[in-house]
């Protein structure tokens, strides 16, 4: 059984004054971040600056200076350089590198001096650093006989801060990203539909969410044949759709937000069986559900003033005498008939009925997350994810938002003529196109059929769910991508918040 995810308590404090000699004498570990665009000799002005400057002269420009000062406390000092105007993804990657150096020494407190920056630049650097600290100390699952040592860092002091930070949002986003990553990393024998629900139920009790589970028998009665087609091949009878609701204490003017996640806890491909190495990592086909849940947790921690529904499609895709087959014709909950082409395209099947249930609540905006297609990985690689929306005039703004927050996305079109790829001679629609195709676009065209025309919709194909060596401020291969994008997009003036406000 996988232990419950427990995000550590972190203490952040800020001081508008630069780090003084007395501050430096009293701390174990200090990080000075130098403004890479300012050629002023800032090191000389720092406490023990001449010592640091002489060491810095013998280092490469982008290296981290690591030195122990000749003071009574033998304070360890790290000096790094940052361009506050660089791309968010690059700034987050640098922050991860600096924090990793701090974590390595197992000090409990880190003092950071940011006096080299103006308010705008300092806020960007500080946000990246605090995000990197929070995700660095978030737990990851381990099944080693000897458990790995957890990071000791629990306290951060910012010096020279002539700006304000939304620390609550930073911590909430890190906790949500950490939860998504934690669940996605867990093996399939630790996270089944049943154990996933157990984790969520415990979290729901703590967070105050309304918790409703629609089991397979109930889904059959609701004619959710698309979901049932996949689930009936699984040995786990606990398949179903989990519905969670966060209700704010104070309602704003925004409409309802619905988060939908693909929760395939194991995907064998069904009768279109995955072969060789393609089966490895398929326990992470529930990452979309983990991201939806992590986003719900982050928004709850922030106490956003709008209602949030979260719909998790929990099942597995297996081979059995009851499993669905190629050329079967399946009927979804709205009566749409679907010709099955590939049993390994199961994600869009379970999402079809889940989107119908979510849409029935009349949300202002639906966002769905899924590790849906290999085609999106082939198109973009694993450094960014693909997005589709029925609000195509906002596609540029949605893409720009990804660049600004450090979780980059690429927007694909949803032109009507692409629907010809999934036109069926025997049913209303094909599940996917036979052979090699633009499957990420075909999948989005398929899903769009199950979203009410009056509802704004964003579909995220999580090609960046896993990236070797980490991505941005996240240092593990499993990234939790999508939580940060969504939470920052739902901030007061964010592009996603505007969709809720226009309801």
Token output for 11: 């203490």
How far apart are the C-alpha atoms of 65 and 430, rounded to whole Å? 58
Neighbours of 325 (CB within 10 A): 12
Residue among 307, 315, 142 nearest 231 (CA)? 315
**Residues marked as catalytic:** 274, 348
- DSSP assignment string, 12-42: EEEESSPP-HHHHHT-SEEEEEEETT--S--
Joined together, the tokens standing for residue 189 give: 């024998």
Nearest to 33 by CA among 46, 23, 16, 22: 46
Number of H helices, E strands in the chain: 15, 17
* Residue from 165, 125, 132 nearest 36 by CA: 125
Is there a contact between 227 and 353 (Cβ–Cβ < 8 Å)?
Answer: yes
Q: How far apart are the first and last CA of the chain?
A: 42
Rounded Cα distance between 461 and 464, Å, is: 9
Torsion, Cα 242 386 346 480, to 10 degrees, reads: -50
Spatial separation of the C-alpha atoms in residues 431 and 442, rounded to whole Å: 9
Q: Where are the alpha helices (DSSP H) in 395-438?
A: 395-405
Specify which residues 366 forms β-bridges with: 258, 457
Query: Beta strand pairing status for 308-317 and 257-267?
Result: parallel
* Contact by Cβ (8 Å): 104, 31: no
Q: Can you tell me the distance from the alpha carbon of 357 to that of 353, in angstroms, rounded to the nearest whole number?
A: 6
Helix (H, G, I), strand (E, B) or coil at 112: strand
Give the integer Cα–Cα distance in Å for 79 and 244. 45
Q: Smallest Cα–Cα separation from 216: which of 311, 107, 314? A: 314
Neighbours of 108 (CB within 10 A): 12
CB 226 within 8 A of CB 353: yes
What is the crossing angle of helices 88-104 and 119-137, to 10°?
Answer: 50
| 12/137 Cα distance (integer angstroms) | 14
What ranges make up the beta strands (E) of 183-236? 210-215
């Amino acid at each position: 059984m996988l232990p419950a995810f427990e995000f550590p308590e972190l203490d952040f404090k800020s001081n508008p004054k630069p780090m003084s000699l007395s501050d430096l004498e009293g701390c174990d570990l200090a990080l000075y971040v130098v403004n890479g665009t300012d050629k002023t000799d800032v090191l000389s002005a720092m406490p023990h600056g001449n010592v640091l400057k002489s060491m810095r002269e013998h280092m490469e420009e982008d290296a981290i200076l690591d030195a122990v000062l000749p003071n009574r406390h033998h304070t360890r000092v790290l000096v790094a350089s940052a361009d506050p105007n660089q791309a968010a993804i690059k700034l987050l990657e640098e922050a991860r590198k600096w924090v990793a150096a701090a974590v390595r020494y197992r000090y409990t407190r880190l003092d950071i001096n940011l006096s080299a920056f103006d308010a705008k630049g300092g806020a960007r650097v500080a946000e990246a650093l605090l995000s990197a600290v929070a995700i660095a100390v978030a737990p990851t699952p381990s099944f080693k006989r000897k458990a790995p040592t957890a990071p000791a860092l629990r306290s951060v002091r910012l010096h020279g801060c002539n700006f304000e930070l939304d620390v609550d949002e930073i911590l909430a986003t890190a906790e949500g990203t950490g939860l998504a990553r934690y669940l996605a990393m867990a093996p399939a024998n630790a996270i089944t539909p049943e154990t996933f629900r157990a984790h969520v139920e415990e979290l729901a009790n703590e967070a105050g969410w309304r918790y409703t589970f629609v089991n397979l028998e109930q889904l059959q009665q609701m004619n959710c044949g698309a979901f049932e087609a996949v689930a009936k091949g699984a040995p786990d009878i606990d398949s179903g759709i989990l519905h969670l609701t966060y209700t704010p204490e104070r309602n704003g003017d925004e409409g309802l937000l619905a988060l939908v996640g693909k929760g395939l806890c194991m995907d064998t491909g069904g009768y279109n069986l995955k072969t060789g190495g393609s089966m490895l990592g398929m326990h992470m086909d529930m990452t979309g559900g983990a991201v939806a849940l992590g986003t719900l947790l982050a928004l709850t921690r922030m106490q956003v003033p709008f209602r949030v529904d979260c719909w998790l499609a929990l099942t597995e895709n297996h081979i059995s005498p009851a499993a669905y087959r190629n050329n079967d014709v399946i009927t979804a909950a709205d009566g749409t008939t679907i010709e099955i082409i590939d049993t390994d395209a199961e994600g869009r099947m379970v999402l079809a009925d889940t989107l119908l249930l979510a849409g029935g609540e009349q949300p202002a905006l639906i966002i769905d997350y899924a590790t849906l297609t290999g085609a999106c990985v082939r198109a973009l690689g694993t450094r960014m994810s693909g997005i589709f929306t029925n609000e195509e005039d906002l596609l540029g703004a949605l893409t720009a938002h990804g660049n600004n927050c450090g979780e980059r996305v690429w927007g694909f079109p949803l032109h009507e003529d692409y629907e010809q790829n999934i036109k069926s001679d025997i049913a209303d629609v094909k599940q996917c196109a036979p052979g090699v195709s633009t499957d990420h676009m075909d999948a989005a065209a398929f899903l769009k059929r199950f979203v009410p025309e009056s509802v704004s919709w964003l579909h995220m194909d999580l090609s960046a769910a896993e990236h070797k060596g980490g991505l941005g401020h996240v240092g593990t291969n499993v990234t939790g991508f999508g939580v940060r994008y969504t939470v920052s997009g739902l901030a007061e003036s964010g592009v996603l918040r505007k969709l809720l406000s226009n309801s």
